[in-house]
Amino acid sequence: MKIGILGTRGVPNFYGGFEQFAAYLSKYLVNKGHEVWVYNSNLHPYQESTWEGVSIIHCYDLEDKIGTAGQFVYDLNCILDSRKRGFDVLLQLGYTSSSIWGRLLPSQSIIVTNMDGLEWKRSKFNTYVQRFLRYAESLAVKRSDFLVSDSIGIQNYIQNKYDRSSEYIAYGADLFKSPDVNVIEKYGIAKYSYHLLIARMEPENNIEVILDGYCLSQSEEVFLVVGKTENTFAKYLIDKYKSYSNIRFLGGIYDLNELNNLRYFCRLYFHGHSVGGTNPSLLEAMASSALIVAHNNIFNQTILEKSSFYFENKEDIAKYVNADLSPAQRNNMISENLNKIEHQFSWEKIVSSYEDLFIKLKQKN
């Protein structure tokens, strides 16, 4: 098949979750004998025409000149280009800025859209943006031939809201098998003597609830917070907890080996995400043998099931921080999560599921 992938800044991954997924999927499909094209922003650091056998189409992106609005221009340029390529399948990763151009998508291609999370629920957006995102979501559902949900929660939502079926295919992760305690020593911490949170500094990620609970626990252990600290909410958090010397805001860390080691050697890993589908950072924590305390919602529950502790308020957080967990209990939950990564969320399983879907859709078309 001839397959196009749009909706990301491009490959190889220099940015985030969808870009990482696009890299894994495109390389896999090429190795399976398909012709694969990925749309890259002209601002992407990688400027070659191919990568790992994947053909790259560089499209003009104005994000560096006009900010977020530039994404709409970039998506329009990608969609207009796709009309002349003759793709059998065109995979859209997300819909936020591409849906308004949906009527321009090539009619001869099978349009498959990964619906991502419930973007309109994110508190960083004002009422007008949230209203637009609801509208964009409805356009994506209407103008796609087939939908993919990366969590059971999103799949149920689409079915109930739009009466549309979607294929459940989660996100992926690789098992972390090379822990090195030397990696964490530069932070002045010892293994299993600190707690960890990795997230974007946004209210819906429950960072404030987690840190309030940690303060309530009166623990003297170090608490590391990883995530970019440039936005208003991050600055508010840093100011609020400035008197707690053991709460350390490290800013963004993008070295995967470093992140995996921090996860592996922490005593508890806190995952407060409450909006969206299968979160990549949650799977990476599972794959890194972290003992997880997650926010109690359907997105986290369907992934973790009984292999996590769950919190709803700061009192729950304090309870887990002060809990004296037996090694057997800890090892059992970690083993269950590693087993899930290996058998349910391995990259091999995820990307092969996409290939199976594309083949099935092509045969039906």
Strands (E) located in 272-338: 292-295, 309-311
Q: How many other CB atoms are there within 10 angstroms of residue 29's CB atom?
A: 24
Strands (E) located in the chain: 2-6, 35-41, 50-51, 54-59, 89-93, 110-114, 146-149, 167-168, 194-198, 222-226, 247-251, 268-271, 292-295, 309-311
**CATH numeric code, 2-171+347-364:** 3.40.50.2000
Residue 280 is classified by DSSP as: H
181-343 has the same fold as 2-171+347-364: yes
Mean pLDDT across 212-232: 96
pLDDT bracket for residue 121 (50, 70, 90): low
Q: How many other CB atoms are there within 10 angstroms of residue 353's CB atom?
A: 16
Pairwise pLDDT comparison (358 vs 365), residue with the higher score: 358
Task: Please say if the pLDDT value at position 286 is more than 90.
Answer: yes
The identity of residue 239, as a single letter, is D
Mean pLDDT across 268-286: 90
Rounded CA-CA distance 268/190 in Å is: 13
pLDDT at 118: 65
Rounded CA-CA distance 155/170 in Å is: 11
Q: Which residues contact 279 (CB under 8 A, 6 or more apart)?
A: 171, 271, 273, 299, 300
The overall longest dimension of the chain from CA atoms, in Å, is 62
Task: Please say if the pLDDT value at position 312 is more than 70.
Answer: yes
Residue 344 is classified by DSSP as: T
The torsion region of residue 278 among left (phi > 0), alpha (psi -120 to 50) and beta comes to beta
Rounded CA-CA distance 206/209 in Å is: 5
Tokens of 229: 């600290």
Domain boundary assignment for the chain: 2-171+347-364, 181-343
Instruction: Write out the DSSP string of 183-214.
Output: GTGGGT--TTSEEEEE--S-GGGTHHHHHHHH
User: Which segment of 18-22, 116-120, 138-142, 197-201 scores lowest on mean pLDDT?
Assistant: 116-120
* Residue appearing with tokens 């491009």: 10
Task: Please say if the pLDDT value at position 237 is more than 70.
Answer: yes
pLDDT in tens, 144-190: 999 999 888 889 999 999 999 999 999 999 999 999 999 999 999 99
Task: Please say if the pLDDT value at position 348 is more than 90.
Answer: yes
**CATH numeric code, 181-343:** 3.40.50.2000
pLDDT in tens, 138-154: 999 999 999 999 888 88
pLDDT in tens, 254-272: 888 999 999 999 999 999 9
* Residue appearing with tokens 């508890």: 268
Cis peptide before 203 (omega within 30 of 0): no
pLDDT at 124: 64
Tokens of 75: 């998506």
Cβ atoms of 8 and 18 within 8 Å: the answer is yes
Strands (E) located in 42-88: 50-51, 54-59
Q: How many other CB atoms are there within 10 angstroms of residue 31's CB atom?
A: 12
Rounded CA-CA distance 246/145 in Å is: 51
Mean pLDDT across 313-324: 97
Length of the chain measured in residues: 365
Pairwise pLDDT comparison (115 vs 176), residue with the higher score: 176
pLDDT at 13: 87
In this prediction, what percent of the chain has a pLDDT beyond 70? 97
pLDDT in tens, 50-95: 999 999 999 999 999 998 889 999 999 999 999 999 999 999 998 8
Residue 215: what are its φ and ψ, rounded to 5°?
Answer: -65, -40
Tokens of 31: 């190795």
Sign of the C-alpha dihedral, residues 237, 242, 244, 250?
Answer: positive
The CA-atom distances, in angstroms, between 20 and each of 15, 171, 229 are 8, 10, 23
Mean pLDDT across 22-48: 97
In this prediction, what percent of the chain has a pLDDT beyond 90? 79
